[in-house]
A = this chain, B = another copy of it.
Amino acid sequence: MVKHQINWSLVDQLRTKNPIILTLANLVTIDKVADAVSAIGASPIMSVEVNEAAEMVELADAIAINLGTISQQQLMQIKATLQEANHHKPLILDPVAVGAVPSRMKIAQSLLTEFHFDVIKGNASEIAALIGINGKSHGIDAGTVPNQVQIAERCARQFHTIVILTGETDLITDGQVLYQNPFTVEMLTTNVGSGDMLSSIVAAFAGITTDIWDACIVATVLISAAGVLANRYSAGLGSWQVQFFDQLSIMNTNSLLDFLEESEEDYLD
């Protein structure tokens, strides 16, 4: 880890700059994503109408594309959005369930062929599927995938992008350098939408800095920290969710650094 080089002040900057983040969303988690984006200090916008694509892109500082409830209709909107935004605005792809659903895999492949994404965020079976490896997913959840570092690096190189591969240890790589985030709790997996929130929060940070690498790391660690801290005071899924949104909404650069300092001892000892 190279923590000292990372620009953790992005957490505070986000609240000041208040970027507008467009998510073409998973309908299952659209409310949680909007709340999460708002909690960290950005302004969420959503749309389901292809004719709004150009206007939405113009408003947005960064864009997250989520395939969680992809339909033919939403695909048209996604393509219209990407045609406007490609190489103009930071683009994040969340290829939900491409490891489990072949038709979604084809959609993801066609998007990755036509457009350039700055970041791809997925679990091990999703990232493996994108480079042609059958990751034996379990529904929308990751199954057991070996060699995750190599898979993440290959995916990053193949699509000239940064890959965030989430799991027990989150891997972030541009194909050369690897950052590992060891902080996690099981509730981040049980809670539906943790991954969707991460991809839109990555977009939020990518909306205020040209350093997409730092945006990825800060977003991933921020979500993890909120999840771990929430776990300390919760008795189950409901109270964890409450604490998680509390943490997201009060976190600042200092409290995130405090978390890192005290937690690294726990995790790395």
Contacts and interface: CB of A to CB of B under 8 A. Distances in A.
Nearest to A70: B49
A103 B55 contact: yes
Contacts of A46: 27-28, 68-69
Contacts of A250: 235-236
Interface string A32-65: 1011001100011111110110011001000000
A234 to B, nearest CB: 8
Contacts of A141: 43
A233 to B, nearest CB: 10
A103 B247 CA distance: 37
A38 B241 CA distance: 13
A72 B45 contact: no
Contacts of A235: 246, 250
Interface string A97-113: 10011111000000000
A138 B241 CA distance: 28
* Chain A interface size range: 35 or more
A25 B68 CA distance: 14
A152 to B, nearest CB: 23
B34 A31 contact: no
Nearest to A102: B55
Interface string A105-148: 00000000000000000000000000000000011110000000
Given A18-B138, A45-B140, 18 more contacts: A28-B34, A29-B31, A31-B31, A34-B192, A35-B192, A39-B190, A39-B237, A46-B68, A51-B72, A52-B103, A55-B103, A190-B249, A235-B250, A237-B246, A238-B242, A239-B242, A239-B243, A241-B245
6 A-B pairs with the lowest CB-CB distances in the bound complex, closest first: A236-B246, A238-B245, A238-B242, A237-B249, A20-B139, A236-B249
